[in-house]
Amino acid sequence: MKVVLPDNSKLELPEGATGLHAARAIGPKLAEQAVLVRANGQVQDLRLPLQDGQPIQILTTRDKDDPDALYVLRHSSAHLLAEAVRRLYPGVKVAIGPPIENGFYYDFEFPEPVSEDDLPRIEDEIRRELDEGREWARQEVTAEEARKRFEVEGEPYKVELVGTAKGPISLYTQGDFTDLCRGPHLQNSKPIKAVKLTGLAGAYWRGDEHNTQLTRIYGTAFYSQADLDAYLERVEEARRRDHRKLGPQLDLFHLAENAPGSPYWHPKGMVIWNELEDLRRRENAKRGYVEVKTPLLYDVDTYITSGHYENYEENMFFVQGHEDEKRLALKPMNCPGHMLLFGERRRSYRELPLRYAESSTLHRDERGGTLHGLLRVKHITQDDAHVFVTEEQIQDEIHGMVEYVRYLYDLFGLTPKAELSTRPEKRLGTDEQWDRAEEALEDALKRHGMDYEISPGEGTFYGPKIDLHMTDSLGRSWQMGTIQLDYQMPERFDLMYSGADNVDHRPVVIHRALLGSLERFAGILIEHYGGAFPFWLAPVQIRILPVGEDHREPARALQKNLGDYRVEIDERDETVGKRIRDAEVEKIPYVIVYGDKESDESLAVRKPGGEQSTLSLDGLRAEISEVATL
């Protein structure tokens, strides 16, 4: 048989040859360094047979930054963690241990309590395994053979997994540890140059709170110590920028147990919030959106019509009024209200595209264990819009939305990328409708020349979507806005418009949120800027520090002269040095120290980054004017 190499040359191999055979045929050095094979673009263990005509790519230790190469390294490292834990804690029950973004974890049921203090001991045991060296051997067995093996070993979680496994059962063994696993794995442990256990948490078996709570140990691994050191430095920087720490420190917001998942916004935080809202309204108006406001509560029949009751009930809050009244629900999304608004009267094709925009409070019953500061909340405010279009208008409208998102993200120094999510198993509508919807979104991305990835099965129940991701200043990727094409809700709400032919036609609706949840976006911005917001977004733009009591009145006059901006005076009876340090901690963009030598013609100004200069009031205004607006 023959396989196709990345340069389009063909490599002849015997029938049943594996990725490792292919690597050896190319060269012994490649075979020694090989960690993984991509066959038809899919990750495959080196030990598995290749198919005739397959395009293949062999990844090696030189591909240390490739996500798939890191995936297999971390998968094997997770198995080393499990082997180490079994050695150190006789009687421990082993659950699952997958690689994840930036690392891996493994879940265990320990016979005794363990804590963060135990991680160095486990880490030392992993290093001992690496010093000894490990090789991974793959074996395929029947489900019955696997079940009996794990029953004898006293591993109930593995027995349960065997009972639900689909397809061939494979086992991987390294040292004295055998695991139920599909792979892929490294040939041996030589490529693993750096392993670090990073944390410990509780986790319910299979994510069900009614099941046993296990102990989850997190870790990460790299092909070099330098890469691990760089990663840990990024993690430490991320901790310093954590919005849950900076939010209260900068007096922006706080969270409390009496309102879980619902932030309290302080006056300074509301400055940021209102700037984002002003940006949303201003840019929407430029693009032909009209502001609407729809109810917070609807009867359950509305959500039955929209499909939310069937597909989203577990995430909704319900309200029961008087006994003789209908059961109501707080809206988790704006779309049902916008459908009813469109259908309130007969529409003409001349009104389309009709772009409804609404920044409204939404409520979603996220589980307590998933809440995370501003990034995952129960109280959500989206820069939401629903655009009603004809079939012919779809491409241009989505094209305009992609242009819009590029503009918005560029304002904040964020780099967007797209993910096209296609039809899930649980969905509304016909395959023909989904074909048209998916094709329309993909054509719009291609037309715009925007890089994108396809995520099969991750669309919403009513239509495919473009998810918008961005990369922040630490190189982290965040999911932000979304553009969703929907044929279903106009049909379920029986929406129509009168066409130029005087015949009724069904509109198509595009669901669109570009910043996404404003709470989440604010949390990401806090971390992206590390709390040092650009001048236009900073809650306090200028702080004046009068040196003594005699300087307070001139400082107030200066504040009045700078009234176009957000200016504070710090008159506390603290030393000037202490007040300067406090302003630096609060990341105030401009700090003016006002003493005997200062006047409107000579101001002592501390700029972002600690730079000091002397400016006149006019000079300061001229400098600030360049950064004061978008």
pLDDT of 362 above 70: yes
pLDDT digits (tens, 9 = 90+) for 448-507: 777 788 989 988 877 889 988 887 777 777 888 889 888 889 999 999 999 999 999 999
Please report which confidence band the pLDDT of residue 518 belongs to, taking 50, 70 and 90 as the band edges: very high
Catalytic residue among 38, 280, 364, 543: 364
The SS3 call for residue 88 is helix
- pLDDT for 448 equals 75
Known catalytic membership, residue 384: yes
Q: From the CB of residue 292, how many other CB atoms can be counted at a distance below 10 Å?
A: 17
- pLDDT for 368 equals 64
Out of 442-446, 512-516, 613-617, pick the least confident: 442-446
C-alpha to C-alpha distance for 485 and 69, rounded to whole angstroms: 35
Known catalytic membership, residue 301: no
- pLDDT for 477 equals 77
Mean pLDDT of 443-452: 80
Known catalytic membership, residue 335: yes
Catalytic residue among 107, 383, 384, 486: 384
Mean pLDDT of 602-620: 87
Percent of the chain predicted with pLDDT > 90: 67
pLDDT digits (tens, 9 = 90+) for 160-185: 999 888 778 999 999 999 999 999 99
Question: How far lies 344's CA from each of 304, 544, 580, in Å?
Answer: 19, 54, 58
pLDDT of 382 above 80: yes
C-alpha to C-alpha distance for 527 and 269, rounded to whole angstroms: 14
Q: Are 345 and 237 in contact (CB under 8 A)?
A: no
Known catalytic membership, residue 386: yes
Q: From the CB of residue 173, how many other CB atoms can be counted at a distance below 10 Å?
A: 17
What residues pair up with 590 in beta bridges, in sequence order?
542
Is this structure's pTM higher than 0.85?
no
pLDDT digits (tens, 9 = 90+) for 87-102: 999 999 999 999 998 8
> What stretch of H or E contains 525?
helix 518-529
Catalytic residue among 44, 54, 187, 382: 382
Largest CA distance in the chain: 92
Q: From the CB of residue 166, how many other CB atoms can be counted at a distance below 10 Å?
A: 5
C-alpha to C-alpha distance for 373 and 261, rounded to whole angstroms: 7
Sign of the alpha-carbon dihedral angle for 340, 342, 344, 349: negative
Mean pLDDT of 592-615: 86
C-alpha to C-alpha distance for 595 and 19, rounded to whole angstroms: 75
Residue 545: partners with Cβ closer than 8 Å, 6 or more residues away: 555, 569, 570, 576, 579, 580, 583, 591, 592, 593, 594
Nearest to 37 by CA among 54, 12, 15: 54
pLDDT digits (tens, 9 = 90+) for 202-221: 988 988 878 999 999 999 99
CA 625 to chain centre: 35
Mean pLDDT of 405-426: 87
C-alpha to C-alpha distance for 620 and 178, rounded to whole angstroms: 69
pLDDT digits (tens, 9 = 90+) for 417-437: 889 999 998 887 788 888 888
C-alpha to C-alpha distance for 510 and 339, rounded to whole angstroms: 11
How high does pLDDT run on average in the chain?
91
Catalytic residue among 505, 511, 512, 606: 511
**Nearest-10 Cα torsion for 609, 612, 616, 618:** -10
Percent of the chain predicted with pLDDT > 70: 100
C-alpha to C-alpha distance for 330 and 43, rounded to whole angstroms: 44
Burial class (CB in 10 A: 0-12, 13-18, 19+), 242: middle
CA 229 to chain centre: 24
Known catalytic membership, residue 511: yes
